[in-house]
């Protein structure tokens, strides 16, 4: 995919698979909601989650966003990322608010804002900064494999 196609793809998809390295050296792979900002993705998670503990120890992750079922429909991207972990509750709340705005489709009411702000001290923000990007789009193969 071109950079423009990749940005559009990330903006339309909803779930990223996030792989971190667990305490015993194996991949820890989990789904995550995200907000795309160009090629960078942001999310949040509980500070005591395994993924957060893994990223505190080793701030690298590999992400995958994919779409399609049939071979000729498959498209996606793998992003190798350095991860910035945000602890400051007001900033973490900003991450959470952006996520809820994206996944609920717009303006948040005061009750949702209050809920997100109340959760922020228990969570961390995750900013995924790609260092390597690989993408594929089987639509472009035109049936020739």
Residue boundaries of the structural domains of the chain: 3-141
Distance CA 98, CA 88 (A): 16
Q: How far apart are the first and last CA of the chain?
A: 17
Q: pTM to 2 decimals?
A: 0.93
Tell me the CATH number of domain 3-141, given options 1.10.240.10, 3.30.420.80, 3.30.750.210, 2.30.110.10.
2.30.110.10
Residue 39 near residue 130 (C-beta atoms within 8 A): yes
Residue by residue, pLDDT tens for the chain (145 residues) are 999 999 999 999 999 999 999 999 999 999 999 999 999 999 999 999 999 999 999 999 999 999 999 999 999 999 999 999 999 999 999 999 999 999 998 888 999 999 999 999 999 999 999 999 999 999 898 877 7
């Amino acid at each position: 995919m071109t950079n423009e196609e990749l940005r559009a793809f990330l903006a339309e998809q909803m779930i990223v698979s996030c792989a971190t390295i667990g305490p015993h050296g194996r991949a820890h792979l989990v789904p995550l909601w995200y907000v795309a900002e160009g090629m960078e993705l942001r999310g949040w998670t509980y500070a005591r989650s395994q993924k957060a503990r893994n990223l505190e120890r080793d701030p690298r992750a590999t992400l995958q966003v994919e779409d399609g079922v049939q071979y000729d429909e498959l498209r996606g991207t793998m992003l190798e990322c350095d991860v910035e972990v945000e602890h400051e509750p007001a900033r973490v709340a900003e991450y959470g608010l952006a996520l809820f705005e994206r996944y609920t489709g717009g303006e948040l009411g005061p009750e949702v804002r209050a809920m997100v702000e109340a959760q922020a001290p228990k969570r961390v923000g995750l900013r995924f900064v790609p260092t390597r990007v690989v993408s594929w789009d089987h639509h472009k193969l035109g049936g020739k494999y």
